[in-house]
Structure 1
Amino acid sequence: MFTSPQISTNNDLNSRSYIFFYYFTIRYKLYNGNKLNLPIFPNHAKTIKERNKLLSKLQLECHKALLNDWNPTGIEKEQKIQIVKDSFENILAEKLNSPYSKFYKRDLQKVCEQFLNFIPKELLTKLVTEIPLEIIEDFLNQFKTSGRSYMNKRRSLSIFFSELVRKDYLQKNPVNKTSKQKIKAKLHEVYSEEQLREVFKFLKVNHYNLYLCALITYGCLLRPHQEVRQLKLKHISKDFSEIHLSGNENKSGKVRTVYIPDYLSKELKQHLFGFDDVETNIFSLASAESFNDDYFKTQWSRAKTQMLKAGLIQENQTLYSFRHTAVVNVYRKTKDLHVVQQLLQHSNMIVTLNYLRGLGETNNEDLKNCMPQLI
């Protein structure tokens, strides 16, 4: 019992390439044709093209030999842990020790625990190649209460299987064969100009930290619960004209510089007057200490009840609506997707377009204006 030989290579001639395959669940490597009694030496090649040609030849000859009952037990083999439980726990440990966000790690930890508890106990000690697709589908079907819940769980589980593929435990990711569900966009309805003024006025008097968070979210297009909540004095330039975030301090993962508009600069100067410690969090006003993850969520929940009763906001208007309102205003002013993409730090234009479409900003009216006219 064996799998078809595969090529493992890259574009670096200094890195050794090889052929690999599974023979009775054990993974083997072939770097050259010595074990086949053939003069094939891909890693002696002088060019990438020549090496790829030799690798293909070695792959073909290896496959022929296996078909002719060649026993590869005498060649180099990799002793890797392929047991389901161990493999998942090892991958989780690697992820938890990597510089990912706490939410990413939390989701992976949860899905790992849920999946290992769901599958039959006898499967825990079997090889990962023996996990049936039906088990994966049955596990995911538990979360079909909403498209978002299902797809989030599917994405998290897929990360484990993708790692198994990357480590050569599996040839393909079985999660890719499971069904997808459409995610209904969660509407963060934008504010009108009049609403914006009234809401800011109310928050400034009754919930100042929430007001400041909303003002930064609107004026700088930062995300409130992480990027804004954890802002310190050191992130703000001395003249209060810019905010500087490192790659691990914002969702894009890149160094980010954000312009601070005049109305926000003035507010920050007044709020932070007399504070010199650069580690001071701008909300807790304590050195190197920010409020908990749910701080603004709780604050908004309290303020929202009051504002709904006063008729200041609608049910679908949220803390994130300040960011969405700013995005819509910028797009309406410029009609330039590239500008919006840069402000939001999106990885590509498709993400930005989907973002605007989710806000209902790119719609049939935009297309209508592009229709040909009869002269």
Structure 2
Amino acid sequence: MRILNEHETAHLPIFVIELFGALGDVPKDLGQSIDRMTELIYEDKFWKTFEGHDKAYEFAEMFWDLEQDLPEDSPLRERDTFKSRVFLGCGIVLFCIQFAMLGQVVYGAVFIQNVLAFSPFQTGLSMMPVVLTIIVMAQVSGYLFDKVPFRLLAVAGTLAISVGFFSQAVVLEQNNIIWLVPGMMLIGFGLGLLASTVTTEGLSHVSQTQRATASAILQTLRQTGGVFGIACIGSVINLIEKDRIAMVAEKLEPLADKRYDLQVLLFQSEQAQATATDQLRAHWPRALDELKDITTEAIAAGYYLGAGVVLLAAIFSIWSFSQKGEPEIAPDTLEQD
């Protein structure tokens, strides 16, 4: 594991240091940090630690007091970056793209392996159209960045990603990887246009003294979008699967006791547990086909959500980015003696 150096420790958010300090176990490296946060979220230790909403609210007030005590010239108090409409737009675009993309990477692989029965290696190869299109468009985007207004790039890129997700959601029920390739290429086209140009455009609209902070903000928004994407898309998929599995179990098994066992096996088989799949094949063979349909329907709904979020980014881009793409904040100049 890589140990955090002094520079990284100094730039950790105050609330992270205080949170782990309150739990009595400040992590010493990146791996421990991830493990501790996972434990807090998934083992429900956050509310147990803070004894409910009241204690958590008091803890939030403590963070606010710490922020108010910062010196006026502290970089942690700088909020001027979001005064730039273009910078704000770049942050929103990065958030929305990553929101959809992590959902596609995770649940797209689930669909290809569980429904199309591809091996992990075949699954990786089947998603190469996205990667190859990104490689090609990344070479073109730098040239276009200097030739056309950035608003055009932003709208075209986000629309391409949105249409790519929408088209994949429509054809998922065909259960054929060939039908997914056009959508993958559209997604790669949009990502290739925006992968580097969004950050470049955003940083060009803040002062030179704020660019380090602004870059960190943009990357934080991008990563946060991915976290929200996994959570929201996963919640939609889980809700649909839970509802549809209950309906299938009721249709295939009239006895209540066996119906419960069938539901459990369906959930376990959906999580790729081989033993559960074997039991379904032996006792309820029709359930396996039903399970594939459930997975397809649920992941398609997640793709529709991702398409909608990126479409909102395209609409926001029309307002946020000026037609000529001229910087709204002039670069710093040296004072003359």
Q: Into which bin does the TM-score normalised by the smaller protein fall?
A: under 0.3
Greater share of helix:
2
| TM-score for both structures, normalised by structure 2 | 0.26
| TM-score for both structures, normalised by structure 1 | 0.24
Larger RCO: 1 or 2 (CA < 8 Å, sep 6+): 2
Greater share of strand:
1
